[in-house]
Amino acid sequence: MSFVTRFAPSPTGPLHLGHAYSALLAHDMARAAGGKFLLRFEDTDLERSKPEYVDQIIDDLTWLGITWDAPPLMQSDHFDDYNQSVEALIAQGLTYPCRCSRKDINAALAAPQEGAPHTVYPQTCKNRSMSERGATDALRLHMDRAMNALGGQKLSFTELGDLKKGVHVIDRDDIIQSVGDIVIGRKDIHTAAYFLASALDDINQGISHVVRGIDLFEFTQVQVLLLHLLGHKPPLYYHHKLIRDENGKRLAKRDDARAISLYRSEGISPNDIRSMTGL
């Protein structure tokens, strides 16, 4: 099997040490396997994504010695593709419209932030039918129905990272309780949410191995479920450790003190960054 992996930052802030580790690790794995390393900007959040962050991330990755084997994929160029998949899930009767607050929905739309706990949706709108869908309603995946659609078949994915190594069977009760009815689409800004767009692009980019932080591990099951419902075979997954600060706190984008650009301005070398992350 050929090895194709990717780094998929959301350009909503500067590249920090945690991202650098993720990108370097995935890049090293691809090069060691004689495979491919691809780049994807997850810029579906049009309010928070900024072109200057895209430029800065490209500049920082290049400085780190990372090269990619195709032009970067910009998710904002592919809204139509994602929406076709949203329509396919609607057609299967697996969605419901949700009119909960913009704040709730925005939180659910963005990629999970390192350090922020995932809130399981309290199912307020669960009994609304698609015919009641308002122009600004979000669409949620009806998780119980989505699991029922498997018709008793066991769905699983393979994790290669040491932290969670093994075959993980997707458990109905666990996915309902720990992930819940996630947002998969939103009409007013014409976009599919993070979970769906990201999983679809792993297929579109021919990714064989998804290398990313362990903070995304619990969402892998829902991405595998979505891919299955849309007739795709999931890639293999490798979730790596997170880079923490001296206090053991996970780094987040807002930790600008860890921005690679800042280290660069202080004269730190790419090799120093590698050793700081334990590579």
Binding site for ligand GLU (CB under 6 A): 8-10, 42, 111, 198, 212, 216
Task: Judge whether 214 and 242 are in contact, CB under 8 Å.
Answer: yes
What CA–CA distance (Å, rounded) separates 84 from 49?
Answer: 23
What's the closest the beta carbon of residue 114 comes to ligand GLU, in angstroms? 7
Output 29 or 142, the one with its CB closest to ligand GLU. 29
CB of residue 219 to ligand GLU, shortest distance in Å: 8
Question: Least Å distance between CB 250 and ligand GLU?
Answer: 12
Q: Which residue's Cβ lies closest to ligand GLU? A: 212
Degrees, nearest 5: CA angle 112-235-157: 80
Q: Angle at CA 174, nearest 5°, toward 182 and 101?
A: 25
Q: Report how far residue 169's alpha carbon sits from residue 175's, in angstroms, rounded to the nearest whole number.
A: 11
Give the nearer residue to ligand GLU in terms of CB position, either 9 or 97: 9
Structure tokens, 234:
């999931």
Q: How far is the CB of 204 from ligand GLU (least distance, A)?
A: 13
Specify the amino acid at residue 77: D
User: Given the complex with ligand GLU, which of 198 and 221 has the nearer CB atom?
Assistant: 198
Looking at the DSSP assignment, which residues form a beta bridge with residue 36?
A: 4
Closer to ligand GLU by Cβ: residue 95 or 220: 220
Query: Least Å distance between CB 133 and ligand GLU?
Result: 27
CB 175 within 8 A of CB 217: no
Q: Which residue lies nearer to ligand GLU by CB, 186 or 212? A: 212
What strands, in cross-sheet order, belong to the sheet with 73-74? 4-7, 36-41, 73-74
Shortest gap between Cβ of 261 and ligand GLU (angstroms)? 17
Phi, psi of 198 (to 5 degrees): -65, -45
In angstroms, give the least distance from the CB of 125 to ligand GLU.
26
42 or 181: whose CB is closer to ligand GLU?
42
- In terms of CB distance, is 27 or 133 closer to ligand GLU? 27
Largest CA distance in the chain: 59
Phi-psi label, residue 123: left if phi above 0, alpha if psi -120 to 50, beta otherwise: left
